[in-house]
Structure 1
Amino acid sequence: MKKVSIIDVAKLAGVSVSTVSLVLRQKGKISAQTIEKVKEAITELGYVHNVAAANLRANTSNLIGLIVRDFTDTFNLKVITSIVQTLEQQGYMVFLAHPQDDEERLVQCLLSFSRQGVAGVIYLTANATRLTLPEPVRLSSLPLVTVSQAMIEGQYDLVMRDNRQAAAQATRYLIERGHRNIAYVGGEASCQIRAQRLAGYRMALQHYGLPYKEEFTPPCQEETNAARLATRRLLESNNKITALLCHSSHAIIGCLNGIHQVGRTVGKDVFLTQQVSLLGFEDMLQINLSSPSFTYVSSASDETGRQAAALILRKIQQSDLPPQRIVVSGELVLRESA
């Protein structure tokens, strides 16, 4: 059976080959009537457009490389979904790579992307202790956008969460509800996300004339039991604390257990001394299935993904575009815990 070509489509539709090509690529000013005729001819003949071959001829690509360091991170998973959906809506396909912390594998990923002819790369870093990008990423010649949960040093195209704003917003909310002794639990001492949130927390306290107390911000390992022990010690030595900012999902669960172990409960009422308000920084479905449901500042993961996808497309279309830094802010979602 003879393979249907673009010439056959043009003949049946009664238009030129270049017109069919423009319709397939969604380029140029073509009338709706002509587009419909071409589409009808494509359907009748069963023509299949070879996108890869067309890209090769035009020296363009509809492929985007996506490098993900950590698949266990809830924020990253939501960002990945948003990136893929946004790029697919624009006619792009995504190649996924997972080099973990192996720099040699990262080099191979970037080399493979180059050989596949990707138009650009999005790099999702989840290393909250590192202030710089890995050398292979810094030296890559491909158009590249980094998505990070913390600040990255250098002039790079970056989309990141506004951790300082999130913590300041959460702290202001608690203060305005009447809390005067607010603690922050969780995050390792080297964690940049923690450092940025503590800056926002401290800024809000200062704005309201409240003192910053080092003992109210205990760091701990990123695990439930460590957060439980930290919470228990904190509340046993500071019984005036009425609210806790929880660094992560592990911290929320640990704080819950620690609060119950010292004979207190979770709740909004600052005037009931046994209650402790809890406020997190993620929308974690598995936790919000429990009671009470948790108040949190959203991670804005969907918007982060959309911004990253839009930025890589701008970089592809404008190679001389100067580096851009996009900071995405979350929203306070009020539930039952604060």
Structure 2
Amino acid sequence: MARIGQGKATGIKETTATGGRRSVTIIDIAEVAGVSKSTVSLVLKASPLVKSETRERVQRVMEEMGYVYNRGAASLRKSSSSVIGMVINDLANPFFAELAIGIEQALQHSGYIPYLAHTAESVARQAEVVRSMREHGAAGIILCPALGTDAADLADLSVPGLPIVLAIRRIAGARLSSVTSDSVGGARRATQHLIGLGHRRIAFIGGAEAMVVRQGRFTGYQEALQAAGLPLDPSLTMESMPTKDGGFQSMLTLLDRSDALNPLTAAVCFNDVVAIGAMLAVTRRGLQVGRDISLVGFDDTAEAQHVSPPLTSIAVDPAGLGKAAAGMLLRHIADTAPKFENYVGEARLVIRDSCRPPLRKDAIA
């Protein structure tokens, strides 16, 4: 039997009726590498069942013989594609871009190719792209639900044999696995940090009340105030879209209504994007973040450490959450009867220069 480096003696150069060289097949690869056709197939699928030395030998033979794996034809044979759908709700938010990078990194050696779609927070667009992915035989979908998505919407999207994993936003009543961050614990730590610095007039900015993530973060904020014996002041709570403009407008409103004798000195923001918008509003009013107003964001995106001053934030590792979602989906694809999983990622406080003790001593009393 021929071995590596002996390809010229195998007869692979056989020509077709039109005079062209015929394509190398996995049978040819198996013969030269000294393995079975099934082993070559497992190598192509990146199966962990193949020993590393065997995989390397087969891959060397493929390279020497110029073998090209036709994934499209393979997909037709198994009646499904090697595509995994990533349906992202807001790619303008760097958090979701980092999440998508984590998903892609986790899929690099899985044999699956990620296919990205952006819904721009539209439930109708979400239904459209999921339907398209189903029609193209996607093996599974990681879905970041658009604002307004409910359990009925998800039931309409789900079909037998198509695993769906929810990322970041868990939907009440949905019978789907999910990957989220510790919203309650993270917001509690953020608020406790500000209280520990001496702040007593602490706002909560951003997010819509109907958002499950916002509900969790607001709960953590409330718990920290209650534990410190501080009242919840409704005038310090601002809903908004989770955008820079939402944070900007909310902070302007709070500064306009701030009591000169007992002013606002700090805010916990729904996410980093909202916090950066709030920073711009503080600066617009001639104030200084970290001196006049302390701010804490949520997500700890790459942008948080590069704004001025660098933003204190709750780190949830969006790329790590993306990897966790991809791993969960791959397990569901491999298991014909998967169990529902709920993964909650850690939320750590990362302290930077946007938070300092309040200037007024009477704000600490």
- TM-score, normalised relative to structure 1: 0.83
C-alpha displacement at 1:188, in angstroms? Answer: 4.1
| Structure 1 portions without partners, runs of 5+ | 269-274
Tell me the residue number matched to 1:206: 226
Local SS of the residue matching 2:108: helix
Residue in 2 that maps onto 1:86: 106
SS of equivalent to 2:203:
strand
Q: 1:134 aligns with which of 145, 148, 153?
A: 153
Q: Residues 206 and 25 of structure 1: is their aligned pair in 2 closer, same or farther, counting only changes over 3 Å? A: same
2:193 to 153, 164, 173: 173
Distance 2:261 2:153 in 1: 42
- CA change 1:315–1:137 in 2 (3 A) is farther
Q: Which residue of 1 aligns with 2:318?
A: 301
Tell me, yes or no, if structure 1 residue 310 matches structure 2 residue 323. no
Query: Which structure 2 residue ranges, 5 or more long, are not aligned?
Result: 1-20, 356-365
Q: 2:266 and 2:145 mapped to 1: Cα distance? A: 31
Specify the SS of the correspondent of 1:332.
Answer: strand
Q: Which amino acid counterpart does residue 140 of structure 1 have in structure 2? A: V
Question: Which residue of the partner structure matches residue 289 of structure 2?
Answer: 266
Change (3 A) 1:119 1:189: closer
1:208 partner letter: A
Q: CA 1:174–1:6 in structure 2 vs 1: closer, same or farther (change >3 Å)?
A: same
Deviation for aligned residue 1:83: 0.8
CA distance in 2, matches of 1:220, 1:7: 61
Corresponding position: 1:24 with 2:47: no
90, 98, 119: which one aligns with 1:70: 90
Q: Structure 1, residues 222-274: CA drift from partner, whole Å, max 9, x if none?
A: 52542242231243456343322123456434533554566653326xxxxxx
Q: Which residue does 1:272 correspond to in 2?
A: none
2:345 to 299, 310, 328: 328
Q: Provide the residue aligned with 1:230 in structure 2.
A: 253
Indicate the residue corresponding to 2:264 in structure 1. 241
1:289 Cα offset (Å):
3.1
Secondary structure of the structure 1 residue equivalent to 2:84: strand
The aligned amino acid for 1:315 is H
Give the AA of the match of 1:41: V
1:43 aligns with 2:63: yes
Deviations 1:171-227 (CA, angstroms, capped at 9, x unpaired): 111222332332223334544433322211111111222222222223356525422
Deviates more, 1:257-266 or 1:74-83: 257-266
Q: Is the 8 A contact 2:98 2:319 kept in 1?
A: yes
Q: Does structure 2 retain, via aligned residues, the 8 Å contact 1:150–1:163? A: no
Task: Determine the C-alpha separation between the residues in 1 that align with 2:182 and 2:231.
Answer: 23
Deviates more, 1:323-332 or 1:29-38: 29-38
Contact 2:25 2:67 in 1 (8 A): yes
Alignment of 1:97-112 (within 5 A): 97-100=117-120, 106-112=126-132
Distance in 1, Cα, partners of 2:191 & 2:289: 17
Cα pair 2:144 2:169 within 8 Å, conserved:
no
Residues 318 and 263 (structure 1), Cα distance of their counterparts in 2 relative to 1, 3 Å cut:
same
Q: Is residue 2:336 matched to residue 1:319?
A: yes
Offset, 1:29: 5.6
> Is the Cα–Cα contact under 8 Å of residues 201 and 264 in structure 2 kept in the other structure?
yes
Secondary structure class of the residue paired with 1:266: coil
> Is the counterpart of residue 283 in structure 1 residue 300 in structure 2?
yes
In the superposition, relative to structure 1, how do residues 215 and 317 fare at CA in structure 2: closer, same or farther (>3 Å)?
Answer: same
Q: 1:219 maps to what in 2?
A: 239
**Cα distance between partner residues in 2 of 1:172 and 1:16:** 62
Q: Which runs of 4+ in 1 moved over 6 A?
A: none
Distance in 1, Cα, partners of 2:45 & 2:302 = 41
What residue number does 2:16 align with?
Answer: none
Provide closer, same or farther for how the CA distance between residues 137 and 123 of structure 1 changes in structure 2, counting only shifts above 3 A: farther
Question: Could you tell me whether the CA contact under 8 Å between 1:151 and 1:160 is conserved in 2?
Answer: no
Q: Verify the 8 A CA contact 1:161 1:327 in the aligned structure 2.
A: yes
Q: In the aligned structure 1, how far is the partner of 2:29 from the partner of 2:133?
A: 33
Which residue matches 1:121?
A: 141
Note closer, same or farther for the CA distance 1:151–1:327 as it changes in structure 2 (3 Å cut).
Answer: farther
SS of corresponding position for 1:337: coil
The secondary structure found in structure 2 opposite 1:134 is helix
Distance in 1, matches of 2:150 and 2:260, equals 34
Which of 197-206 and 259-268 deviates more? 259-268
| Residue pair 1:149, 1:161 contacting (<8 A) in 2 also | no
Change (3 A) 1:319 1:137: farther
Change (3 A) 1:89 1:190: same
- For 2:233 and 2:166, how far apart are their aligned partners in 1? 35
1:122 Cα deviation after fit: 1.3
Asked if the contact 2:85–2:138 (Cα under 8 Å) also holds between the matched residues in 1, the reply is yes
1:311 deviates by 0.9
Post-superposition CA distance 1:285-332 (Å, at most 9, x none): 456434321111124311221111011111111232222222223221
